[in-house]
Structure 1
C-alpha cells in the first residue's frame, strides 16, 4: 500500500504565485516517487484546503489548480482521493453573525451523553440541507463533500466514508469532520471545544468492517477536542484503525502509538503551503510484505526549489514502524501464537465485541436510541461468599462496584459468578468481554463468550463451545487452531449445575486448556449462597463470587442517564424506586432500564 498524505494547503489568490512555486516542486517529487515505486493507492488530504472558506468559488478553484494536478502526479483517480475539512475551510462570517448558536453549542456539548445525543439528532441530515450549527461549512459540503466517486459509501454532516478496492484486500477510509465546531478566531480559542464524536466513530467502524486496512482522517490533533470527547474517541480510534492521519499544527511528526487498546501509526502531516519561508512538507506512507510501514517525510527547500527528504526531522527523512492491519491476516498466520497475530485479531474483534455488548443493553422493540455499554452499564455488587454482607452496609457507589470488577479481571485466577437469572449476568458477561478486549485483564487475551447449552456430549471441544461468538466478532478470522494456541478469556454463560453431563464436560475443558482463563456464570434457581457452594464443588480452584441486586447509588446513576434536568432526575428516581418496591421486581439493569423507558415516554 502506498499513501500520499497532504495537508494544510491554504489556497488563496493573494499568494497565488508563491503557492504555484511550491506546488510545482511538490508535483515533481511526487511524480519521481511514482515512477520509481509505482502509482499511489490513496491520496489523503487532511484539511485546510483553502485559506478562507467564505471566499467565492475558492473550492472550485482548488479542484482544478490543486486536486486534479496532484492526483495526476500520483497516478491516482478521483476514487482514490479522500478529504476532510479544516478550520480554514469554514466561513468565519457565518459564525460571527449568529453568535448565539455558538454560545448554545458551547453550553450544551459538554459531555459524552450530550454530544452523542446531538449527533443522533443530526445524523440523518443531508449535506444538501445544512442546519444552522453546520452552516459555516456550507461551501465545503456543496463543492467538495458533495462529490461522490465510486469509492464513497456514505456521506453526512459528520463523516465521509470510502472503500477503495484492492486486489489484496480493501482499504477503508473514514474522513471525520472536526471543523464544524470551529470559529476560526485567533489565539487557539477553539482548542478544547472541538468535537469528533464517539457515535461518529462507532458508525465509521461499522461502515468499514469489511476493509483489510482501516484509515482515519481528521484535521485537528485529538488534544484539540473537548476533553470528554477526546477520552471517548481516542481509544476507539486506536483500537479500530491502522493509520490515523491529521494536520493543523503545520509540523511533520509521525509516531507509532502502542496502547492497551491497540497499535496505530499516526501520520501528522506538515503544512503543504504556509509561505515560501515556512516549513512546507508532506508525507508518504508505504507498507510492504514484511509487516513494516515506511514513512517518508519531505520538506521544501526554497533555495533549491525542491522537496527533499526531511533530514532535520529524522535521519534520511525515513522512519520505519511494525505494521499489522486490523483486517483478516493471511491463512498462514492463524496457526501461530505470536503477539502480532493476537493483536491483529483483537483489533478486528473489538468493535464487534462492543457492538454485541451494546445490543445486549438495548431495549428491543421500544424504539430507544442506541446505548453504549461504557456509558450505560451499571455494575451490580460482586462479593465473595465469605464476604457477602447486606448491601446497606456497603459503600453505596456504582464506581466502587465497577472498580471491584476490574480488579477481579486483573487477577490471574479463574472466576465463577453465581446469581439468579434476572440479575443481569449476561450483561455483565458482555461488559467483561469489552474490558478484556481493551486490555483490562491479566494479559492480552481474546475474550470469547460461549453458551453452556452449546456443549455437546458428542463434541465437547473448546471450539464447539466458543465458535459461534468467535466467528461473529472476527468475521471468521478466529479459527480453532488460533483458539487452542493463543491466550483466551472464555466466558461461559447460564451454567445449569443440574446438567451433570455438561458440567463434567466443562470441567474437563478447564483442566485441559491451560491457555484459557475462565469466567463461569452459574444460574441459581434458589438461594445464591447454597448454589455458590455447589458451584465450588463443581468447579474447584476458581474464585467464587455472588452477584447481587443493584444498589440505590447504581440505580440513581442509571436513572440520571435518561433525564437531563436535576429536578426531573430527582422526580423520576423517586418514581422509579416506588415502582420497584410496589411491583417487587428484581433490581437488575434491564428491569430498571425498562421502567425508566416507560417513565420517560409516558404521555
Structure 2
C-alpha cells in the first residue's frame, strides 16, 4: 500500500488563487508520476486544511477545500473519495465557537483523566467544549458516509483498509478539539483513549498493520499524556504514526 501524506495547506481567500493556478498543478503532476510508477492507494491530509477556521472562505470552507484541492487530486489519480482521509488541525478550529467560560474552566482544571472522560462524552454529541471542531467533523462525516469500514465519531474516527496482504487499520486521532489561540502545551490534553477505542476495533477485525494519524507532534502535547500515548502506540501494535503541523514537502509512505 502506498500512502501520500499532505498537511497544513491552510486554504484561505488569500492563497486560493495561487494554489489553484500554480501549486496544485505541480502537485498533481508529481502525484501522477508517482502513481504511474507505483499506484497511490490513500491520500491523507494531516490537519490544517483551512486557515483560521476557514472564515475567509465564508459559509462552506470545507466544501471549497473539496472543490479546490480534493476533487482535482481524486480525478487525476482516478481514485475515490473513500481513498482520501483527513484529520483536523488547530487551524481547523472555528474560533468563533470557543465559549470563553468553558475555555477558562478547561485551561485551569483539565487533566489526562478528565480529557478521556470528555472524549467519550463528546463522541456523538457537540457541546460548548467541542463546538469549535463541529464544522470540520460534520464535513468529515458527510464526506465518508459511504466509505466501507469507516467508523465515525466526533472525537476519533477509524477505517479498515482491505488489501491483498491483509487488513490495515488507520486511527484518525482528533488531537485538535482542545485547541485555541492561547493554548499552552501543559494544557493540551487530547484524550489518549482515542487510541484505545480504535485499537479495540482493529483487534476485533484482526488487522495485520495499524497506523495512527495525528496533527500535532507528541512534543506539543502535555508531557504526562505524551508518555501515555507512546506507551499505547507500543503496546497496541501501531506500526507507525503520521504527524502534521510542521510545514514540509509532501511525503510518500509505502506499507
TM-score w.r.t. length of structure 1 = 0.39
The 5 A counterparts of 1:548-559 are none
* Counterparts in 2 of 1:193 and 1:145: CA distance versus 1, 3 Å: farther
Q: Which residue of 2 aligns with 1:150?
A: 147
2:188–2:221 Cα contact (<8 Å) kept = yes
Q: Aligned-pair distance for 1:118?
A: 2.6
Query: Of residues 214, 218, 243 in structure 2, which corresponds to 1:218?
Result: 214
Task: Give the Cα–Cα distance (whole angstroms) in 1 for the partners of residues 75 and 185 of structure 2.
Answer: 36
- For residues 347-391 of structure 1, the C-alpha deviation after alignment (integer angstroms, 9 at most, x for no partner) is xxxxxxxxxxxxxxxxxxxxxxxxxxxxxxxxxxxxxxxxxxxxx
The 5 A counterparts of 1:327-366 are none
Q: Which residue of 2 aligns with 1:335?
A: none
Matched, 1:283 2:236: no
- For residues 462-506 of structure 1, the C-alpha deviation after alignment (integer angstroms, 9 at most, x for no partner) is xxxxxxxxxxxxxxxxxxxxxxxxxxxxxxxxxxxxxxxxxxxxx
Task: Give the Cα–Cα distance (whole angstroms) in 2 for the partners of residues 25 and 89 of structure 1.
Answer: 25
Q: Which residue of 2 aligns with 1:50?
A: 50
Q: RMSD across aligned C-alpha pairs, in angstroms? A: 1.7
Q: Aligned-pair distance for 1:167?
A: 1.9
Matched, 1:35 2:36: yes
Query: Of residues 226, 230, 238 in structure 2, which corresponds to 1:230?
Result: 226
Task: Give the Cα–Cα distance (whole angstroms) in 2 for the partners of residues 161 and 135 of structure 1.
Answer: 21
Matched, 1:16 2:16: yes
How many residue pairs align between the two structures?
Answer: 247
Task: Give the Cα–Cα distance (whole angstroms) in 1 for the partners of residues 100 and 175 of structure 2.
Answer: 19
Query: Of residues 76, 81, 84 in structure 2, which corresponds to 1:81?
Result: 84
Q: Aligned-pair distance for 1:152?
A: 4.2
Q: Which residue of 1 aligns with 2:133?
A: 137
Q: Which residue of 2 aligns with 1:246?
A: 243
Task: Give the Cα–Cα distance (whole angstroms) in 2 for the partners of residues 16 and 235 of structure 1.
Answer: 40
Secondary structure of the corresponding residue to residue 143 of structure 1: helix
- Give the number of the structure with larger relative contact order, counting CA–CA contacts within 8 Å between residues 6 or more apart: 2
Secondary structure of the corresponding residue to residue 52 of structure 2: coil
Query: Of residues 173, 178, 190 in structure 2, which corresponds to 1:176?
Result: 173
Task: Give the Cα–Cα distance (whole angstroms) in 1 for the partners of residues 242 and 81 of structure 2.
Answer: 19
Matched, 1:198 2:186: no
Task: Give the Cα–Cα distance (whole angstroms) in 1 for the partners of residues 89 and 26 of structure 2.
Answer: 24
Secondary structure of the corresponding residue to residue 48 of structure 2: coil
* Counterparts in 2 of 1:140 and 1:17: CA distance versus 1, 3 Å: same
Task: Give the Cα–Cα distance (whole angstroms) in 1 for the partners of residues 191 and 77 of structure 2.
Answer: 32
Q: Aligned-pair distance for 1:121?
A: 3.2
Task: Give the Cα–Cα distance (whole angstroms) in 2 for the partners of residues 17 and 120 of structure 1.
Answer: 40
1:136–1:180 Cα contact (<8 Å) kept = yes
The 5 A counterparts of 1:266-415 are 270=248, 281-287=249-255
Q: Which residue of 2 aligns with 1:93?
A: 96
Secondary structure of the corresponding residue to residue 132 of structure 1: coil
* Counterparts in 2 of 1:139 and 1:122: CA distance versus 1, 3 Å: closer
Task: Give the Cα–Cα distance (whole angstroms) in 2 for the partners of residues 5 and 72 of structure 1.
Answer: 17
Unaligned runs of 5+ in 1: 251-269, 271-280, 288-603
1:46–1:83 Cα contact (<8 Å) kept = yes
- For residues 232-284 of structure 1, the C-alpha deviation after alignment (integer angstroms, 9 at most, x for no partner) is 1122123421120111122xxxxxxxxxxxxxxxxxxx2xxxxxxxxxx1010
Secondary structure of the corresponding residue to residue 254 of structure 2: strand
1:197–1:233 Cα contact (<8 Å) kept = no
The 5 A counterparts of 1:494-505 are none
Task: Give the Cα–Cα distance (whole angstroms) in 2 for the partners of residues 208 and 71 of structure 1.
Answer: 27
Q: Which residue of 2 aligns with 1:488?
A: none
* Counterparts in 2 of 1:225 and 1:78: CA distance versus 1, 3 Å: same
- For residues 64-115 of structure 1, the C-alpha deviation after alignment (integer angstroms, 9 at most, x for no partner) is 11112222334422122111000111111222xx2111111122222x3322
- For residues 366-418 of structure 1, the C-alpha deviation after alignment (integer angstroms, 9 at most, x for no partner) is xxxxxxxxxxxxxxxxxxxxxxxxxxxxxxxxxxxxxxxxxxxxxxxxxxxxx
* Counterparts in 2 of 1:192 and 1:145: CA distance versus 1, 3 Å: farther
